[in-house]
Structure 1
Amino acid sequence: MTVILSLLAALAAVWALAYIGAPLLAWTAAAVVYFGALYGLGVIGTTGIVIAAVIGVPVAVLFNVVPLRRSLLTKPIFKGFKAVLPPMSDTEREALEAGDVWWEAEMFRGKPDWTYLMNFQRTRLTDEEQSFLDNETEQLCEMLDEWQITQELMDLPEDVWQFIRDKRFFAMLIPKAHGGLGFSALAQSTIVAKIASRSLTAAVTVMVPNSLGPGELLVHYGTEDQQKRWLPGLAQGTEIPCFGLTGPEAGSDAGSIPDTGIVCKGEFEGKEVVGLKLTFSKRWITLAPVATVVGLAFKAYDPDGLLGDDRELGITCALVPADHPGVEVGKRHYPGAFMNGPIYGKDVFIPLEWVIGGREQIGGGWRMLVECLSAGRGISLPALSSAASKMSYRMTGAFGRVRRQFKMPIGKFEGVQEASARIAGLNYKMEAARVLTASGVDTCAPSVVTAIAKYHMTEWMRQSVNDAMDIHGGRGVQQGPRNYLAPSYQAIPIAITVEGANILTRSLMIFGQGAIRCHPYVFPEMEAAREDDLKAFDKLLWGHVGYSVNRGARALTLGLTGSRLAGAPISGPTAPYFRELARMSAALAFVSDVTMGMLGGDLKRKERLSARLGDVLSQLYFASATLKYFIDEGQQEADLPHMQWVMDDSLREIADAFDGFFRNFPNRFVGKALRVMVFPLGRPYHGASDDLGGQLADAMLEPGAFRERMTADTYVGKSAGDATGRMEQAFQMLVKVEPLYNKFAKAVAKGQTRGLTVTDQLASCVEAGILSQAEADEVAAYDKLRYDAILTDAFEPDYLLNRQNGGHQDKVQEARVA
């Protein structure tokens, strides 16, 4: 019995030391104390303590005497590590080093610091930013008619272009010192989202100069002369920028661009200077057809060594006037009505001074691009997604109450409520993520977080709009000025594709970059190996071992105790969710370490496995963002079901990702062992209940403060002749007259009225005393709005022909020939 108790005590001690992450000296001291206690209690005698010393002392010396450990243990491991370390190109290194790690690192490392999240102050709009949102942005939205823009003009009206220029919508990120607005990332996000709720074309037009493009690159990297030359014009709208990165053979893999810049001598402004001869063919470049200044990314080469010994200088960015000899712009692609087109150039000579940042930044273009992509990924695309989600929420809720089938609002059908709950839950989740991510961009340049936001929020945009289309049925399918869903539906592929295709972002970027950047040891170990620094590697290696043991012990312990030992920063309804996230964070850290240790460089090719771990990291980020948002919003009662739905859904997504990972791990035994470590008592997460989903769906049908908050900073038409205004006014009037309308409908159903038309039936209700004349008039007014709100557009054939090709059949033939 004593022996069993001794073994249990040893196991408990090992478990406790692993769980708290005790340092090596603490393990050594614990071993000495343990065997000393056994000897003192008579459990082992002199022989036993001698044997323990003979075995234990050399081991303790080996691990604790650093020079000895380094020589006998670390050195052979170091040699093997360097042998299997995959080669890393300069481009890959720059991509990894670019940007900052932020809150996602806490979620990845298995022991999140909730204090940091709770104390993090999200960005608040300044008075100036709020005024711009309420006034200039509102005025712009009032000017926009997306049907006219996309189907009739194929462009923004000229007065809209002028308004955008005059009010400096292109200058939100440019500092005030250069004539810009100097707005925060959150302000840019909110403004773009509001515009997008009215017109995707206008939103894309505004967002591109404020994301990856000449303006941002000049602000961060431009020389003083370049900033003085270009930023005032960009701010005033007298210069329209575009940025040429992608091409026919280089889309998401921008590092493979074939466009070249050859260092050579040439003539510029009547003098012979050293410059670059550019040859390029770019595609899918937004604003290219109307640009006055073109940013270009290309690979620079110096075959004659005019700048030094290096012949391959790397990716470089330059700024070239669109009217510079040899530059060809003006043609259009047609992804939609926003300006998008190709850029060509062959043997275009430019001086070195046109390289963004000057001669010193030749070859530094890739870092520029990766760091500045965070604006598009973290601001613009989440803004588009949020706008589509908010409008799907608001209009679907209104339609679900106005539209009746089988004598009841369709929003009350359980099948419709299932889709409505997704729209509502994802809308809450997306707004939480949009606010936190934009606030993060205001704080640093978080490259992994913005990739997470871009991928998932554009995918949720797809889900929300598809669900809204399903609920609307024919009302969403038939195109025309009345259709407020079709523009978002048609824009989904654009958002999914740009700033890195979603498939690539999920399968390669999120975990591939996140695991290396967020891990406290992996990238430093790789750097130590490349620099042949055994001393640094030794310290990192054994710190890494302790880290892995601790995360594994935490994951198993929290799994066995139902996360009860995990800490939560506050009490209340969020506390259990904080604990569950801490558990899954520990699980991700441990599983990632085992995976990287076993698969090494092969993990890069196991895209489905790495994508699933990326999904876990992403859901941890979104779930923590939701908790933060719920708390920052005052933990309001109306928010509670939405917070719970999001958390239940995120935990289910995490469980699904882990399940797929374990089932498909190459070594089945290890996969099963990992499952036991992460889910020792079985799968604990199953998603939101039907009852909870019903609460979300019901809330969509109700007016009030929560509905306004969940669709804040969107544009809703003010008249019954507007696409969204038509449905909104019908909804608001229904809320007012619904008891009367229900009384009328009940009377009709019971045969208490005469006539076949609403007019006749209402008249008979008045005669029978069921409704007063004033009440009947209210019902009649609502019914007129209701009927108009559910109608779809119909067109004369000549209108459709003229709209598409100007009424000329030769234009149709010309298009076919082209």
Structure 2
Amino acid sequence: MDVLRVDDQLTQDERLVRDTVRAFRNEAVDPYIAEWFESGNLPVRELARAMGGLGLFGMHLQGYGCAGSGAVAYGIACRELEAADSGLRSFVSVQGSLAMAAIHKYGSEEQKQRWLPGMAAGELIGCFGLTEPDHGSDPGSMRTRARRDGSDWILNGAKMWITNGSVADVAVVWARTEEGVNGFLVPAGTPGFTTSDIKRKLSLRASVTSELAFADVRLPADALLPDAKGLKAPLGCLSEARFGIVFGAVGAGRACYEAAVDYAKSREQFGRPIAGFQLTQEKLAWMEVALGQAGLTALHIGRLKDAGKVTSQQVSFGKLANVRAALDVARQARTILGANGVTLEYPVLRHANNLESVLTYEGTQEIHTLVLGEAITGISAYRG
């Protein structure tokens, strides 16, 4: 149902990634994802080992057991994972593009050797603590602080809405110090470091979301990420994660679209399939157009990234455009399915609920709009 045949532009290796991840998803995720979503549980360790075996964690990073794949190949993997559920792509994104990328880019050689091979294999899980209960879009106002005590650091504060938080073996935590914003590696079980899961979610239910709390957590000097200087460090990691969403949103939208097409062909009203009615075909046509445009946007940004030419503004463009397109597709698909569209027998409303969170995290729709506004006008509308 890809009229533009966007995937014809993929290389042989990129198609292999697509087919491998799709086969894994079809066998190990799709039959169970509705149950995981309904129960609010995800078999994290089992999935981590399986996805680590496929080389999906930090697959765009070099060395330390990482696959060293290109940006488009990583994006295609995200697309296929999110076609199953946004929670699955979020798991891989937080592990690889946030936690592992931070250690890979800003960590010491000892830190890289200690954590990255196990994380790449799925034997160790990481999380990324930046967002706080009172500071989401404005991380520069964070209240989490670390102060020196001899050669050690004492960490106090809290982080909120942290994917993988309670199951992580290590948390990459950003805190304000006398030198500015710095990153710290906080292993699970460190005295004073506690987590609590956020319950009663109506979105991203097949994902572990937690609050992290730090009460006089004593960390050794080598817990500091030595090359992470200032707020640009975590924001650079966020750009990596947003890139995965540019592709992932296409997968979520595609799953909704395919469900709507299949349903419209089989559902009969007034003596014929509803796919034969003009209004239904109009909906499907606009869904096809939206996904075709989103797929081309993702591929173009991916090629720019592979060429070392991508900008954060371009990633914001893709995140803003593609998530909104996928959400529009999900909502239209739900109308085609009628009452059946609100059940877990079909993936549509599950994806729509998830996409409401994707619209907000890794930069809200409003923030990405203002990023583009600044790129267009040269005037910042959200900075003092």
Task: Using structure 2 for the length normalisation, give the TM-score.
Answer: 0.89
Quick one: structure 1 residues 227 and 134, their matched pair in 2 at CA, closer, same or farther if it must change by over 3 Å? same
CA distance in 2, matches of 1:300, 1:485: 45
1:130 deviation in Å?
4.1
Cα displacement (A) at 1:427? 0.9
1:368 is aligned to 2:233: yes
Task: Find the partner of 1:435 among 299, 302, 305.
Answer: 299
Matched, 1:149 2:36: yes
Verify: 1:495 aligned to 2:382, yes or no. Answer: no
Read off the aligned partner of 1:327 and give its amino acid letter.
F
> Is the 1:277–1:348 Cα contact (8 Å) retained in structure 2?
yes
- CA distance in 2 between counterparts of 1:153 and 1:390 reads 24
Q: In the superposition, relative to structure 1, how do residues 264 and 126 fare at CA in structure 2: closer, same or farther (>3 Å)?
A: farther
SS at match of 1:174: coil
Partners in 2 of 1:434 and 1:476 — Cα distance? Answer: 27
Aligned residue number for residue 401 of structure 1: 265
TM-fit CA distance, 1:201: 2.9
Q: Is 1:342–2:204 an aligned residue pair?
A: no
Q: Between Structure 1 and Structure 2, how many residues are aligned?
A: 370
Name the residue aligned to 1:319.
185
1:158 positional shift? 5.7
Structure 1 gap segments, 5+ residues each? 1-121, 266-273, 302-312, 516-591, 607-818
> Equivalent of 1:160, from 47, 59, 62?
47
- Assess if the C-alpha contact under 8 Å between 2:165 and 2:208 holds in 1: yes
- Give the structure 1 partner of residue 3 of structure 2: none
- What is the deviation of 1:367? 1.4
Q: Residues 750-805 of structure 1, C-alpha deviation per residue, up to 9 Å, x if partnerless?
A: xxxxxxxxxxxxxxxxxxxxxxxxxxxxxxxxxxxxxxxxxxxxxxxxxxxxxxxx
Residue 384 of structure 1 corresponds to which residue in structure 2?
Answer: 248
CA RMSD of aligned residues (A): 2.4
* Distance of aligned partners of 1:339 and 1:125 in 2 relative to their CA distance in 1, 3 Å threshold: farther
Deviations 1:215-235 (A, max 9, x none): 111222222222122211211
Q: Please give the per-residue CA displacement for 1:34-75, whole angstroms capped at 9, x wherever unaligned.
A: xxxxxxxxxxxxxxxxxxxxxxxxxxxxxxxxxxxxxxxxxx
C-alpha contact (below 8 Å) 2:78/2:245 kept by paired residues: no
Q: Choose from 405, 408, 412 the match for 2:276.
A: 412
Letter in 2 for 1:320: V
* Alignment check: 8 A CA contact 2:48 2:122 kept: no
Q: Distance in 1 between matches of 2:346 and 2:259?
A: 11
| Structure 1 Cα separation of the partners of residues 254 and 123 of structure 2 | 33
Deviation at 1:423, TM superposition (A): 0.4
> Is the CA contact (8 Å cut-off) linking 1:171 and 1:236 kept in structure 2?
no
Q: CA deviation at 1:398?
A: 2.4
Query: Hey, what's the Cα distance between the residues in 2 that align with 1:420 and 1:232?
Result: 45
Structure with greater helix percent? 1
Q: Is the 8 A contact 2:184 2:223 kept in 1?
A: yes
Which has the greater radius of gyration? 1
Q: Structure 1 counterpart of 2:257, which letter?
A: Y
What is the CA-CA distance between 1:278 and the residue it aligns to?
Answer: 0.9
Counterpart for residue 286 of structure 1: 163
> For 1:540-555, what aligned pairs fall within 5 Å after superposition?
none
For the residues of structure 2 that align with 1:157 and 1:215, how far apart are their CA atoms?
17
Q: Contact 1:156–1:201 (CA<8 Å) still a contact in 2?
A: no
Cα distance in 2 for residues equivalent to 1:349 and 1:450: 37
1:511 is aligned to: 373
| Matched AA of 1:192 | C
Residues 1:257 and 2:142 are matched in the alignment: yes
- Are residue 203 (structure 1) and residue 89 (structure 2) matched? yes
TM-score scaled by length of structure 1: 0.43
**Aligned equivalents of 1:136 and 1:454: distance in 2?**
22
- Aligned identity (percent) is 22
Work out whether 1:226 is the aligned partner of 2:88: no
1:419 Cα shift?
Answer: 2.0
Q: Supply the AA of the counterpart residue of 2:26.
A: C
Gap change, CA 1:262 and 1:125, over 3 Å in 2: farther
CA distance in 2, matches of 1:375, 1:131: 22
Higher strand share: 2
* Structure with more contact order per residue of length (Cα contacts < 8 Å, sep ≥ 6): 2
Asked if the contact 2:88/2:206 (under 8 Å) is kept, the reply is: no
How far apart are 1:605 and its partner, in Å?
6.7
Distance 1:236-1:158 versus aligned 2 partners, 3 A rule: closer
Asked if the contact 1:123/1:186 (under 8 Å) is kept, the reply is no
User: Which residue of structure 2 lines up, in the alignment, with residue 470 of structure 1?
Assistant: 335
